[in-house]
A and B are shown apart, each in its own frame.
Chain A
């Protein structure tokens, strides 16, 4: 990333390591400011004049803070000693954040990085944000994208060729019909020739044959196209799904679930339709356009010029008209959408409306929305009816020229144009008419191409993305014992916001560790790093002395068991959910695991025992029951390391006690790492790791840390206070009536 963007007045860029412009100062007034960094200090210029000067070591940390409408760079010693260095609108937020990161790196390590190695998250061509894409989907080479897309037709090239062949043949046959018409008119209708019935019948038969062959070709084309389309769609969806599951968590989390579902289903099916419908038709329509143009020029070049010449100008006008109409219809669509949302809201919330007595207000809101929609739709229709006849007339204006001059040629009034028979004129105008259909269709092609190329870029981006958490070439399958070491670990989900800072600790095998700290302090992040869902930014995490980047992901994750706060149960039976991580387990093993997890009892009470369907998200089971299934799943998995991430947080105290028994069985002799907000849950841990603002604050047993009166002591005291307040709030109201009154 370029961090040398512009220099203050009277200075050269070469004087600084980094120089970034900022635009806000004093009462949010616009200024021409520059934040410049040299090898030892930060300089703040306003209108070319040096306003402030900071030594790197004046503050312990530099950070960018986002406010509501702008952001600021802050130097901080602690919460009470901090200073706003400059403020700016958000165009260069990432650049300022990168400068902060580089200075912070210098403060901790003494090394000043002079070149930022992070990628600019904006497209270098159009300047729009990349939004997690590696290449701008709008600027990616269309030819490259479409050639990749057509490359996927390879396995079906035989059938696809049949479809194209049938369509081309059908288009060619369409060219034959006007020719037969001409012979009919010139040789049989106009001279009123009644003596050659055989020839007349043969021509009628030929016309019928054309229709029959065309029908057959259409049928063959449809069958072949559908075969290719369905198979291509299936291939694309499957490949995108396979690749999605193979991607690292950092890649996945850049995209929302909705976005991924869109790519697997919508984008893939858009490509599927394009390839076998629009894509194929594009080839055929362009082909038929060329054939028709050749024929009319061969028949009469002067008339052909009259038909073709106005087309470019007319196309330009019509395209603009189409765009205008499109915008008005888009507006009507938005109002219709708003109307549907309001209707949906009102009908879903009808109880609230009735209980609040706001029927009249809702009726008025609905009336306004409905009226807006009606007005927008009517305006769109008016524009359409004004624009369309004009657009269509201008598009086909060439035909009127042809008719006028063609008639004059029949009457032999313009000898320089030559002569023409009535049949020839009808044949010619039929061909000219055949020009306009592909043209009308081709006018929409750029919009379609743009739309499909975006979908194609999105699909190919996933298919071609190389995962950033991948197995090392020399990775090993390790038989894990359970010793875990964090060695000077730095990590952040976003480059400008490190979550873990210089964490060093050792977790011994077979012991139970609790990770505690405030929300957002990095507890779950430590677990994500052990599971290698992400790779550390700096430092290393190792298991039994082996860096986890050198252990194969399959081997690592098959030996780590996880029980999360919210257990996700897949659609299926209890049995399938327990055996999810070990599908080959025997029924005896499954029951044994369920018994250890204290799940067997409730499962036997279910109507279909282990075959009970747990439905979408397992909603038919209570939170405690779902947790027990998760524990049984983990026990069956037989892991060497157990991770409990708020495993009992959403349960009541009684259920927690029961689950705890299951968990104690699960954790026996295994390295266990537990995160819990309820600190009492961790009281039997062998050691507690206390995190504070991303750093390791202290470690020790509960008693040791309480005696130390540090961060952990503060957490315990705060929690006791809250518990007391809750107890007060839950006591019965003094004036409340007894329940049985």
Chain B
């Protein structure tokens, strides 16, 4: 093996492999888990991860699997799911919606502070109205950017609002004290 080949081989590991969407063939196995045929190789039970979940739901999706030694092996990254065929897109989107189930907050009715580090947020989400209890709210009810509100309740369920400025005036007034 000459030195040039060694050099190429070494940097292969560091390179971000963008997957060719036309060659990707995702399918559901019997247990409803997603497997993949790509470039002549078969991968069972692949792990799909949104690399930038708060900024984009459909771009930069990592496709990986655990090998026999339980080591993380990344097959590559889907740059934009829009390049997938319609049925492939649907399958992947369905899986990711499950994995990242995170109702979007559309209205905040009230926030009550019980003076013990817990707040109770009465809000409307895309999955219905809910009052959630947030512990240690300085850390679990906060702005990730100037616009994005991120909330994790005591049970570990997550909620988000992509842009609080788009909420109605009353919701903003309620939120003002807490964010």
Is A271 located at the chain interface by the 8 A CB criterion? no
The reply on B15 being an interface residue by CB < 8 A is no
Contacts of B44 in A (CB 8 A): 79-80
B166-178, CB under 8 A of A: which get 1 and which 0? 0000000000111
Chain A residues whose CB sits within 8 angstroms of the CB of B116 once the complex forms: 138, 450, 454
- Which of these, B7, B30, B66, B157, contacts A69 with CB under 8 Å? B157
CA distance A24 to B101 in the complex (A): 9
A728 to B13, CA, bound (A): 12
Q: How far is the CA of A127 from the CA of B177 in the complex (A)?
A: 25
Let me know if B156 is at the binding interface, CB within 8 A: yes
Q: Which residue of A lies closest to B114 (CB)?
A: A138
Q: Which of A24, A27, A68 contacts B158 (CB 8 A)?
A: A68
Inter-chain contact B115/A447, CB cutoff 8 Å: yes
B101 is contacted by which of A67, A331, A731 (Cβ under 8 Å)?
Answer: A67
Q: How far is the CA of A67 from the CA of B70 in the complex (A)?
A: 18
Contacts of B71 in A (CB 8 A): 718
> Does the CB pair B32–A718 fall under 8 Å?
no
A129 adjacent to chain B (CB < 8 Å)? yes
Alpha-carbon gap, A93 to B31, bound state (A): 21
Given A30-B128, A715-B69, residue A334 in contact with residue B100 (CB < 8 A) = no
What 1/0 mask marks residues of chain A from 86 to 111 whose CB sits below 8 Å from any chain B CB? 01011101000000000000000000
Residue of B nearest to A731 (CB): B6
A518 partner, pick from B29, B70, B115, B154, beta carbons under 8 A: B70
Q: Give the shortest distance, in Å, between B10 (CB) and chain A (any CB).
A: 5
- Cβ–Cβ contact A728 & B31, under 8 A: no
Residues of A within 8 A of B100 (CB): 67-69
Candidates B3, B154, B178; contact of A128 at CB < 8 Å: B154
B101 close to A28 (CB less than 8 A): yes
Flag whether B98 is at the interface (Cβ < 8 A). Answer: yes
Question: What's the nearest-Cβ distance from chain B to residue A741, in Å?
Answer: 18
A733: Cβ under 8 A from any B Cβ: yes
CB atoms of B127 and A30 under 8 A apart: yes
**Could you mark each residue 40-80 of chain B with 1 if its beta carbon is under 8 Å from any beta carbon of chain A, else 0?**
00001100000001000000000000101111000000000
Chain A residue nearest to B7 in the complex (CB): A734
A136 to chain B minimum Cβ distance, whole angstroms, is 10
**Shortest distance in angstroms between A122's beta carbon and chain B's nearest beta carbon?**
9
- Once A128-B118, A728-B10 are accepted as A-B contacts, the answer to whether A68 and B133 lie under 8 Å apart by CB is no
Q: Given A69-B99, A69-B157, A450-B116, are A129 and B32 also a contact pair (CB < 8 Å)?
A: no
Q: Contact flags (1/0) for A64-88 with B, using CB distance below 8 Å?
A: 0011111010010001111110010
Q: Which residues of A contact B10 (CB under 8 A)?
A: 728-729
Chain A: minimal CB distance from B154 (Å): 5
- When the two chains form their complex, are residues B157 and A87 in contact, meaning their CB atoms are under 8 A apart? no
Q: Considering the chains assembled together, what is the distance between the CA atoms of A67 and B29 in angstroms? A: 19
Cβ of B135 and Cβ of A128 under 8 Å apart? Answer: yes
| A-B contacts at CB below 8 angstroms, number | 107
Contact B98 A24 (CB under 8 A): yes
A69 → chain B, closest Cβ, in Å? 4
Would B3 and A734 count as touching, CB distance under 8 A? yes
Which chain A residues numbered 624 to 664 have a C-beta less than 8 Å away from chain B? none
Say how far A605's CB is from chain B's closest CB, in angstroms. Answer: 40
Cα distance A539–B176 when bound, in Å? 56
Residue of A84, A93, A331 near B177 (CB, 8 A) is: A331
Q: Does B24 contact A (CB under 8 A)?
A: no
Q: Looking at chain A's contact residues, is the secondary structure mostly helix, strand, loop, or mixed?
A: mixed
Q: Is B97 an interface residue (CB 8 A)?
A: yes
B70 touches A83 (CB 8 A): no
Query: Does B33 make an interface contact (CB < 8 A)?
Result: yes
Q: Which residues of B lie under 8 Å from residue A519 when comparing CB positions?
A: 70
Q: Is A327 an interface residue (CB 8 A)?
A: yes
Taking a contact as CB atoms under 8 Å apart, the answer to whether A728 and B69 are in contact is no
Is A69 touching B70 in the complex (CB atoms < 8 A)? Answer: no
Rounded to whole angstroms, the CA-CA distance of A87 and B32 in the bound complex is 12
Q: A328 contacts the other chain (Cβ, under 8 Å)?
A: yes
Counting CB contacts under 8 A, is B4 at the interface? yes
- Please tell me if A714 contacts chain B, counting CB pairs below 8 Å: yes
- The verdict on A327 contacting B133 (CB below 8 Å), with A67-B101, A89-B101 known, is no
Residues of B within 8 A of A734 (CB): 3-4, 6-7
Interface status of B94 (Cβ within 8 A of chain A) = yes
Mark A309-320 against chain B: 1 for CB-CB distance below 8 A, else 0: 000000000000
CA distance A143 to B45 in the complex (A): 56
- Determine if A87 and B98 form an interchain contact, defined as CB atoms under 8 angstroms apart: yes
Please provide the chain A residues from 134 to 186 with a CB less than 8 Å away from any CB of chain B in the complex: 138
State how many angstroms separate the Cβ of B108 from the closest Cβ of chain A. Answer: 15
Q: A138-B116, A327-B177 are in contact. Are A83 and B69 (CB under 8 A)?
A: no
Chain B residues whose CB sits within 8 angstroms of the CB of A718 once the complex forms? 69, 71
Query: Could you say which of B97, B102, B127 contacts A27, with CB atoms under 8 Å apart?
Result: B97
User: Shortest Cβ distance from A739 into chain B, in angstroms?
Assistant: 17
Which B residue's beta carbon lies closest to that of A337? B138
- A129 contacts B154, C-beta separation under 8 Å: yes
Given contacts A30-B127, A79-B44, A83-B30, contact A518 B97 (CB under 8 A): no
Closest to A24 in B: B101
B163 sits at the interface (CB 8 A): no
User: Complex Cα distance A660/B81, Å?
Assistant: 54
- Whether B155 sits at the interface, judged by CB under 8 Å, is yes
Question: Are A91 and B155 in contact, with the CB atoms below 8 A?
Answer: yes
| Chain A residues in 8 Å Cβ range of B133 | 127-128
B165 contacts chain A at the CB level, 8 A cutoff: no
Does B102 lie within 8 Å of A90, measured CB to CB?
Answer: no
| Given known A-B contacts A24-B101, A28-B98, A68-B102, A90 and B32 have beta carbons under 8 A apart | no
A91 to B132 CA separation, bound complex (whole angstroms): 11
Contact B69 A84 (CB under 8 A): no
A89 touches B97 (CB 8 A): no
CB proximity of A380 to chain B, nearest CB, Å = 10
Inter-chain CA distance A718–B71, complex, in Å, is 10
Q: CB within 8 Å of A: which of B71-121?
A: 71, 94, 97-102, 113-116, 118
From residue B140, how far is it (CB to closest CB) to chain A in Å?
13
Instruction: Write the chain B residue with the least CB distance to A518.
Output: B70
Residue pair B101, A327 in contact (C-beta under 8 Å): no
Chain B 110-152 interface mask (CB, 8 Å, partner A; 1/0): 0001111010000000011000010100100000000000000
Give the chain A neighbours of B39 by CB distance below 8 A. Answer: none
Give the chain A neighbours of B99 by CB distance below 8 A: 67-70
Does A84 lie within 8 Å of B128, measured CB to CB?
A: no
* Distance to closest chain B CB from A364 (angstroms): 12
- Contact in complex: B177, A89 (CB < 8 Å): no
Contact between A69 and B102 (Cβ–Cβ < 8 Å)?
yes
Q: Is the CB of B128 within 8 A of A27?
A: no
- Is the pair B97, A28 in contact by a Cβ cutoff of 8 Å? yes
What residues on B are CB-neighbors of A518 within 8 Å?
69-70
When distances are taken between beta carbons in the complex, the residues of chain A under 8 Å from B177 are 327-328, 330-331
Contacts of B3 in A (CB 8 A): 734
Among B29, B135, B178, contact of A129 (Cβ-Cβ < 8 Å): B135
Complex interface bits, A690-729 against B, C-beta within 8 A gives 1, otherwise 0: 0000000000000000000000001100100000000011
Q: Please state if B155 and A93 are interface contacts (CB–CB under 8 Å).
A: yes
- Chain A residues contacting B45 (CB-CB under 8 Å) are 79-80, 82
Q: Are A84 and B33 in contact (CB under 8 A)?
A: yes
Query: Which residues of chain A come closer than 8 Å to B97, judged between CB atoms?
Result: 27-28
Which B residues are closer than 8 A to A by beta carbons? 3-4, 6-7, 9-10, 29-33, 44-45, 53, 66, 68-71, 94, 97-102, 113-116, 118, 127-128, 133, 135, 138, 154-158, 176-178
The 4 A-B pairs with the shortest beta carbon distances in the complex, nearest first, are: A83-B31, A734-B3, A69-B101, A70-B101
15 pairs from A and B in contact (CB 8 Å cutoff) = A24-B101, A67-B100, A68-B101, A69-B100, A70-B98, A83-B31, A84-B32, A90-B157, A128-B135, A128-B154, A327-B177, A454-B116, A518-B70, A715-B69, A734-B3
Interface residues of A (CB under 8 A from B): 24, 26-28, 30, 66-70, 72, 75, 79-84, 87, 89-91, 93, 127-129, 131, 138, 327-328, 330-331, 334, 447, 450, 454, 518-519, 714-715, 718, 728-729, 731, 733-735
